[in-house]
Structure 1
Amino acid sequence: MGKNLQTGGRLRPIDLARAHGLSTQAVRNYEEAGVLPAADRTPSGYRAYTPLHADALRAFLALLPGHGHPTATAIMRAVNRGAADEAFRLIDESHAQLLDDRRTLRAVEDALRDLDPTAAPAASDPGGTFVGPLARQLGIRPATLRTWERAGLVRPHRDPRTGYRVYDGAAVRDARMTHQLRRGGYLLEQIAPLIEQVRSAGGVEPLGAALDDWHRRLSARGRAMLAGAAALEAYLRARG
């Protein structure tokens, strides 16, 4: 291990654990996963941690809210094996994902703003579309539309002559809303009550609270990334 691991006094697993409300087993697991650098052992075989390990643990826990467990783990592993550029690449990818999520949210808001909340043509309306063309328009598989139908999110009618599914204006609206909300990370069971509210209200206003929550979650991620970056920088400085 590097020189920094030998300085600053010895810490026990319980010392690291108590400082962050963790179990000692969790601390050992983090070391085994490469989140913490490998610890020295005492003559009796006990792990001997140092303040540098405490810095590493603080950095990891600070990275978690903004980057998620897999990416935070990969970042720390890269740093601990001396591959800082790999860690920076992973951080860049997380920021790119956050930016993409912000663009998705903007697209959702634009799409909902453009929806005609009262569109519900009759079954015979020649403007209806079939499952294949609608799936291509949304960039999804026809099977996905059928899954949404089984979940009650989309309600196509059947062509009386062919038996094919036909999506009128209201069904297309619901499919677009479902597609955009899925892109935003919402589960089908979370989307279902929103769709029902839109149908009963005759408009998309009930989605306002969900969009506000989405904005808050993205802002929280962005701020968490800043906190994670500060803690990681402190750990990098401690490593020397």
Structure 2
Amino acid sequence: MRPIDLAREHGLSAQAIRNYDDAGILPPTERSETGYRRYTPLHVHALRAFLALRRGHGHQHATEIMRATNRGDTESAYRLIDAAHVALLAERETRTEVATALGSLSTTTPAPVHGRPLTVGELAGRLGVHPATLRAWETEGILRPVRDRATGYRQYGSDCLRDAEIARQLRRGGYPLRRVAQFIESLREAGGPDALSAFLDSWTDRLTTRSRHLLAGAAQLDAYLTLLDQT
């Protein structure tokens, strides 16, 4: 087969096939007497495996998996695949922790700060915690107070009050500071609890899609490995 014959099935260009060949994504290719590349069904399966792997692993990792497979280093290929599943599991657990933290929050919204921002003592008194606790939360990135230009004192506005209220509830629920900081950062990025709920739903969809892509890639790679064993 010619490069265009492999390319046609996937809507690729012949040059893309040659590039994949040169990158080691495809197994070694024989040449005709005139120097043209000659592909076989083995190359067809290799290309299918790479394109399927790329959807779940990304281009670079899929390339590394195929290179390792083609040089007979299946141990390295399996390690790369296992690492992707470990990373996906860690992300899935993070998503679950964020969702659990969101569910543990009180439905009441703290009253906004009107007028001037609160001082560290005023916020501590409002929450019933020690001022040193607020400073520790700041060190972890949970709170981000601004500083008064004249005095250098910390000033806590409505956003800080919201984050402090959430931190207090999560700490009462037994969450370590590192986890509280991760949740607050997710909340900031999403734009608030309601937006975070929608974000969590889309996050679940992305995790599910990637899991399916990893499974599909593994199936195609298995078919390619089976064919390699027969050659």
TM-score normalised by structure 1 residue count: 0.72
For residues 98-126 of structure 1, the C-alpha deviation after alignment (integer angstroms, 9 at most, x for no partner) is 10010110111122233456235651324
CA distance in 2, matches of 1:135, 1:56: 51
Which residue of structure 2 aligns with residue 25 of structure 1?
15
**Structure 2: distance between partners of 1:35 and 1:67:** 14
Which one of 138, 154, 169 corresponds to residue 134 of structure 1?
A: 138
Looking at structure 2, the residues matched to 165 and 224 of structure 1 have their Cα atoms a distance apart, in angstroms, of: 48
Equivalent residue number for residue 195 of structure 2: 206
Change (3 A) 1:52 1:14: same
* Other structure's SS at 1:71 match: helix
Pick closer, same or farther for the CA change 1:230–1:180 going to 2, 3 Å. same
**Cα deviation, residue 177, structure 1:** 4.7
Q: 1:220 to 1:161 in 2, by over 3 A?
A: same
Determine helix, strand or coil for the equivalent of 1:36: coil
Question: Which residue of structure 1 aligns with residue 64 of structure 2?
Answer: 74
Question: Bigger shift: 166-175 or 62-71?
Answer: 166-175
Question: Which of 93, 96, 100 is the matching residue for 1:110?
Answer: 100
What is the rounded CA distance, in whole Å, between the counterparts of 2:155 and 2:123 in structure 1?
13
Letter in structure 2 aligned against 1:93: A
Task: Please list the CA deviations of residues 171-205 of structure 1 after superposition, one character each: whole Å capped at 9, or x if unmatched.
Answer: 45597555236xxxxxx9xx3xx41xx3xxxxx13
Q: Deviations over 1:109-153 (max 9, x none)?
A: 1222334562356513242734x7424366xxxxxxxxxxxxxxx
Q: What residue in structure 2 maps to residue 3 of structure 1? A: none
For normalisation by structure 2, the TM-score amounts to 0.75
Is contact 2:138–2:144 with CA below 8 Å preserved after alignment?
no
> Could you tell me the percent identity over the aligned residues?
45
Residue equivalent to 1:169 = 161
The one-letter amino acid of 1:220's match is T
Of 204, 207, 228, which aligns to 1:215? 204
Instruction: Determine whether 1:40 maps to 2:12.
Output: no
Judge conservation of contact 2:24–2:70 (CA < 8 Å) in 1.
Answer: yes
In the aligned structure 1, how far is the partner of 2:225 from the partner of 2:4? 24
Q: Deviations over 1:16-55 (max 9, x none)?
A: 1111111111111111111111211111111111110010
The CA deviation at 1:65 is 1.4
Q: Is the 8 A contact 1:14 1:23 kept in 2?
A: yes
Aligned equivalents of 1:176, 1:36: Cα separation in 2: 42
How many equivalent pairs are there?
Answer: 197
- The aligned counterpart of 1:123 is 118
Give the deviation of 1:67 after TM superposition. Answer: 1.2
Aligned Cα root-mean-square deviation (Å): 2.7
Amino acid at match of 2:217: G
* Cα distance change on mapping 1:135 and 1:112 into 2, 3 Å: farther
Shift of 1:68: 1.3
Q: What is the match of residue 86 of structure 2?
A: 96
Where in structure 2 are there 5+ consecutive unaligned residues? Answer: 125-130, 168-180
Shift in CA distance, 86/158, structure 1 to aligned 2, threshold 3 Å: same
220 and 90 in structure 1: CA distance in 2 versus 1, 3 angstrom threshold: same
Which segments of 5 or more consecutive residues in structure 1 lack a partner in the other structure?
1-10, 139-153, 182-187, 199-203
